[in-house]
Amino acid sequence: MKRRQSIAMALLAGLCLLAAPAYAQTDSGRKFLICHTGSVTTAEEAQPYIDGFGGYLAQKLGWQDGTWEVKFENQRQAGMKALQEWAPSFAALSLGIFLEQEGAQKLVPLVLARVNGKTTNKYYVLVAKGSAKTLADLQGKTLTGSILDDGTFLSKVIFAGTIDATTHFKLEQTKRPLRAIRKVAQGQLDAALVDDVQFQSLKGLPLFADLEVIFESADVPNLGMVYLKDRAGNEDIKKFGEALVNMCKDPEGKKMCETFAVEGFEPLPAGALDGVRKLYK
């Protein structure tokens, strides 16, 4: 996968390696959590992006230095703990964490992220050509990938309730998805689950010719940002949403968006999450 794209999606998509807060501790409640599970990005790699993205938004929102802080996580459990105990007012979360914690943490979706011309994502199961035809052929076999740490989301949303992923497969989470996919292409592993960004990146690699898709999920929303209803102020919510929507149109923000390989953020259309909420129940 392209390294810059990996870092970009870790920070903005939504979207958990613990990094020190980018700024001093504050009691203002203006805390921003970035949680991208399965990311290979280190704290050192993430820090300049965290500082730049956070600083840009703070400037647009009129937040003074020392009145806000940012935290980056790439492990699901650490991200969940930060959401509950660190108490952010805004967060970039995986769709799975959002669906699980929406009620308990009073999460409200703010914007969708637009990547590769769309605000949706989808998932693919890849196998070596000719090794399997359907998901039934993979029962009891290994499924590898960087996004396998949420069995409920896998089963209910990605596979739409057709299988229980935690029992159907032997799930093998990896921080090196490209290496794992190579092993699938070579017949050393049974199958890999990738998202749309990973899939599009694979198309440009020679190994893609040795792979085939045996499952393609329905489109799901590419959640960009949420706020916590009991922690974010109304004025901050309005300004935060406007800053994100206008970010890639602003000369300074556009450069950042290009670096992040994100094309923009869009207001959430009415009913955009109804389908995945229904699946998740």
pLDDT, one tens digit per residue, over 133-192 is 999 999 999 999 999 999 999 999 999 999 999 999 999 999 899 999 999 999 999 999
For residues 206 and 2, which has the higher predicted lDDT (pLDDT)? 206
Pairwise CA distance, residues 97 & 111, whole Å: 16
0.75 cut: is pTM over it?
Answer: yes
In 62-138, alpha helices (H):
76-81, 95-101
CA-closest candidate to residue 169, choices 205, 196, 193, 197: 193
For residues 163 and 14, which has the higher predicted lDDT (pLDDT)? 163
- φ/ψ of 134, rounded to 5, equals -140, 170
Task: For residue 19, give both structure tokens.
Answer: 């990094």
Pairwise CA distance, residues 108 & 83, whole Å: 13
- Classify each residue of 220-240 as buried b or exposed e, where b means 16 or more C-beta atoms within 10 Å of its C-beta: bbbbbbbbbeebbeeebbebb
Q: For residue 42, what pLDDT band results from cuts at 50, 70 and 90? A: low
Q: For residue 4, what pLDDT band results from cuts at 50, 70 and 90? A: very low
For residues 88 and 16, which has the higher predicted lDDT (pLDDT)? 88
CA dist list (Å): 77 to 18, 115, 121, 165, 216: 11, 26, 23, 19, 27
Residue 7 has pLDDT above 80, yes or no: no
For residues 99 and 16, which has the higher predicted lDDT (pLDDT)? 99
Residue 11 has pLDDT above 60, yes or no: no
